[in-house]
Amino acid sequence: MKKRLLLSVMLASSFGIAGCGGGHDAPSNSAGDQTAQTNTDTTPTPTAATAPFAKAQAARYIWIGNGASVVGTLASLSQTASGAVTVINNISLTGEVAVNDVYGDTFFAMGRWAKGTVTSGDKTSVLDGVSNAAAHYVLVNDLAMLPTSGSYHCDSGKYTAPTYIAGSKVPSSAYAGASTGSATLAFDTTGATAAISLQTSAGGSAGAANSTATIKSPSATSVGSFISSQPAGIEITLGDGGDGKVLIVAAYKTTLNNGAQYQGVGVFNCSM
């Protein structure tokens, strides 16, 4: 497998996640000062996974939590019958769990950990299913190689519900929002150019994030301004969608017009 562009080790974050290898640090956007209030986000949403994820020899993942972000080589996973992934390498979700926004098929798996005990090595933390604390993940297989030409048409994407992480305080009813977006993808002899435009809304406020990335190898990830102190940013990587299709994977953060910041993940399916 080609050496990853991101080589630093995962930070110890508000989730207490130990190093997974092949990850990178994100700025600490702890929402620990928020008052926990009762909401209804603990009931898993109906699954939209049509088949279990079939891990190839070269596969990887994106995992983001409050103040933490990891991009790593996927060595092992555990997936429930509903399609929810509860183990990603040495990061696991156990106990009384709730995994929402479950999407996927043979080529990708996506979801949002809303409740349970998160463990990595000797570090543990609890998602209580009441506060805004959550973790979002996407698993994909690497493309065998990048195409050298062609413009692809992408669908409107599938998304986990973006969750509040920082900024202006919001009521518990706005701890999770919704996102929509669009993407374009083109290849030439220098690599891939992927452009994403995302809109996020929650509690009557809205915000946007836009990014264009150049991907030069199947295992490369463009972090853009996602891990910077910028109010919005998108981390972009590609995956194998099967039958000549290409997946664009996005981890993103947006700041709404009320000053509240949200993050989530999305997957676009692109074809000729």
Query: What are the structure tokens assigned to 40, written together?
Result: 């209804």
For the CA atoms of 222, 237, 271, 151, the dihedral, rounded to the nearest 10 degrees, stands at 10
Per-residue pLDDT tens digits for 209-219: 999 999 999 99
pLDDT at 47: 64
Q: Mean pLDDT across the chain, nearest whole number?
A: 85
Low-confidence residues in the chain, pLDDT < 50: 1-40, 42-44
Quick one: which of 141, 120, 142, 118 has its CA closest to 128? 118
Contact 139, 239 (CB under 8 A): no
pLDDT at 46: 54
Report how far residue 183's alpha carbon sits from residue 196's, in angstroms, rounded to the nearest whole number: 4
**What is the pairing mode between strands 85-88 and 163-167?**
unpaired
pLDDT at 123: 84
pLDDT at 40: 41
For residue 180, CA distances in Å to 27, 83, 106, 177 come to 24, 22, 23, 11
Per-residue pLDDT tens digits for 110-119: 999 999 999 8
Phi first, then psi, for residue 157 (nearest 5°) are 90, 160
